[in-house]
Structure 1
Amino acid sequence: MTKRTPLRTTLALASAALLLISAGCEEKKTTTAAPEGSAPGQVTKLAVASYDPTRELYQELNPAFERWYKQTTGKDVDVETDHGPSGKQARDIAAGKETDVAALSVDFDVDTIAKAGLLPASWRERLPNGSVPYTSAVIFLVRAGNPKQVKGWEDLARPEVVSLCPDPKTGGGARWIYLSTWAHAVRKAKAEGKTDAEAEAAAREFTTKVYDDALLDPAMRGSSTRFIAQRTGDVLFGWENEILQIANDPSTTGQFEVVVPSDSITIEVPLAVVDKVAERHGVKEIAEAYVKFHFSDEGQELIARRYNRPYSEAIAKKHAEKLRPLTLFRFKDHFSDWPTVMNVHFGQGAELDKMRKK
């Protein structure tokens, strides 16, 4: 079971391990699940792989599920979650990493696992809302007093503003941030009456300015650590839940300010049972209960407490004061599909590579 650790402690530990993080390493835990019907008193283990900014969420959600499962079935289960860049998690699972549940940051990564034959291509249909229990957005974090006067997206392109974010080459979470940057520029150009071709050119120019100068880390937590512990840069732009956790942590009181940009992409985060692995471990029923727990009132409440935007409208309304009003748009409003986006923006020699002159 993931042990409960305050965010400030996590950040301190992450700072000490920054060189490892920058090299692309992520926290891992070896998990061997006991089969169903094991000896009385034996705890069955469930292995979950997730992306970086969910660490604090699963420190609360996993024990809650364990309690609920014990009360419901009388059986003990120990959920162990490891974290790392979403894309790498998907590739590792597809290559044989023993994972019963994948809770990743983009459905394209779950599709990678499905293409390896470990779960059906129709996995989205097995849970509500296309198997997306919550969403997030892209917002900014600046230092107290906002010394560089960062107000919105355009300020990220100013040469005197040093920004930090995760590397879109590494994981799905970082790709959402990149796509939000690109789509903002398209939307702005269209609002100014520019043609589709002109809007695309404007997006390319703007995103190049942002990403050519940005300091990139393999994962969002690495960027957060650099910004906080090493006091590097002027603005951290990334996932809303990660930034609000930092801003509301007692150890950082008065050190930072949140800046809400004019618009953001809706970040949709899926999860799915990795059928073939869960069946081999004899934990398919537990894995299915675990993913459904995310959509329960208790699961949605825990999700909202960690500054995520829950699927449940009732829970979202209850926690509305945690999240500032923000103009949100969907992936499909500006992009066709993830395979096309991966080829056009993130493939070898694609848009992102052309931007990274330095």
Structure 2
Amino acid sequence: MSTAALINLARTRGHQARRVLLTSRILQDEKRVTVVCQSSTSERRTSRFDLDGSGRPATWDSFGIWDNRIDEPILLPPSIKYGKPIPKVSLSHVHCASHIGKRKENEDRFDYAQLTDNVLYFAVYDGHGGVAVAEFCNKHMRKYIQEFLAEEQDMELVLTKAFLEIDKAYQRHAHLSANAFLLNAGTTATVALLRDGIELVVASVGDSRALLCRKGKAMKLTVDHTPERKDEKERIKKCGGFIAWNSLGQPHVNGRLAMTRSIGDLDLKKYGVIAEPETKRVQLQHASDSFLVLTTDGINFMVNSQEICDFVNQCHDPAEAAHVVTEQAMQYGTEDNSTVVVVPFGAWGKYKNSEINFSFTRSFASSGRWA
């Protein structure tokens, strides 16, 4: 055999040997991957962390904080209890903003706190006729909720009892005071309780609002209590009250109050203005739910619910989001006090829309009380 032929044979066998070696390594890698995947599947079945029934093990990208600037650990006991991974909602990542607008005094109040080991509290209050009732609620609502949580598991019932009890407490306080103006003061109240990072209950009287951003869309959790609502108007009339419209075409109870439910407003209680809240219960889906937002009407009447979602979704963190929402309301022309509370959830940063721009120009037809 010639020298050239020997060299060619050696090269050919060398290539074949390298291909065999490479194939062997690939097969070994596939076996290792298979073992790892089987192990993950077994672990998933044990922990029941199959979010969508796809059989794929849960990862941070499938359920968790998409924006890694908000990095929360998993709450293991609730995750096991509910059969899905639940990130911790930390109060350190909750942010608020409040602007006085063009009013002489800021009658809005906001609050958030950890009430028990597994229950968080968020609230906004929009006072009218003075700040007395909003301040009273901001100071005492936590206490009443905690008292009822100690004896009642149903958080809707807890909030209903707390609203009614704090209204009675304010009534006692006002009658003991020498200040007659306290009888005509009142406040809206929108309060949210979050248990185990997944059970969300909202209660509200008046026209402050709560909304949940789910898959980038606004999900309203409250309905305004105004005289436009047929059920509310009928209650007012049955109690001997009446509805009168002001020069701007806005209906008011007995010509004075723009809402049909509130805490305080003691002079209108006999005319059907009640403190009993309407409640809403939601189970969070951290793979889809980006945040909870509580707002007062200085924002609600100028920025509609979907606009709030879009603005917040563009923001770096809840602190920036709270600032942006109040600033947009001011740019759109609000003169009222404007307050917002932003609470981030598992899908924070997941539903950003590059087409949204902060702008002075917009459609006012889609904003306001009815948005």
Fold conserved between structures, TM > 0.5? no
Bigger Cα Rg? 2
TM range (shorter): under 0.3
Q: Which has the higher strand share?
A: 2
Q: TM-score, normalised by structure 2?
A: 0.22
Q: Which has the higher helix share?
A: 1
